[in-house]
């Protein structure tokens, strides 16, 4: 991490997957999730949460940029960092989606 130059530096944490979410996502299905739909619902809710986190970083970056543009803040560097974090989070999410689609297509090509 780069050390801040000014004393008003407030770092914005990048979107991360909490270890508890990873444990739930990778844990084998128990008796309460015996059905295939239980795992699909759990994966869908995990992916929805990740999309929401990416959207919240985008909204925070837009708010920081707006504040700089209207003169509420002179922290241009923080606005630019927020924009880059938002862009990186979106690119990561798109790449994860692409890998998931590619994996699904590979499974569909397998002979039964």
Domain that holds residue 105: 38-109
pLDDT digits (tens, 9 = 90+) for 17-57: 555 554 554 555 555 545 556 777 888 888 899 999 999 99
Structural domain contains residue 81: yes
Number of domains composing the chain: 1
User: pTM for the full model?
Assistant: 0.60
C-alpha–C-alpha distance, residues 106 and 91, integer Å: 22
* Residues 6 or more apart in contact with residue 76 via CB below 8 angstroms: 68
Residue 26 lies in a domain: no
Query: Six-digit token pair at 53?
Result: 């986190």
User: pLDDT for 67-106, tens place per residue?
Assistant: 999 999 889 999 999 999 999 999 999 999 999 999 999 9
Q: Is residue 96 part of a domain?
A: yes
């Amino acid at each position: 991490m780069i050390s801040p130059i000014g004393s008003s530096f407030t770092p914005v944490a990048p979107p991360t997957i909490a270890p508890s979410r990873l444990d739930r996502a990778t844990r084998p299905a128990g008796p309460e999730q015996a059905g295939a739909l239980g795992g699909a619902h759990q994966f869908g809710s995990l992916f929805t949460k990740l999309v929401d986190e990416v959207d919240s970083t985008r909204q925070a970056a837009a708010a920081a940029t707006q504040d700089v543009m209207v003169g509420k803040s002179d922290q241009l560097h923080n606005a630019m960092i927020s924009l880059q974090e938002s862009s990186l989070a979106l690119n990561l999410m798109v790449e994860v989606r692409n890998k998931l689609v590619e994996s699904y297509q590979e499974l569909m090509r397998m002979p039964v």
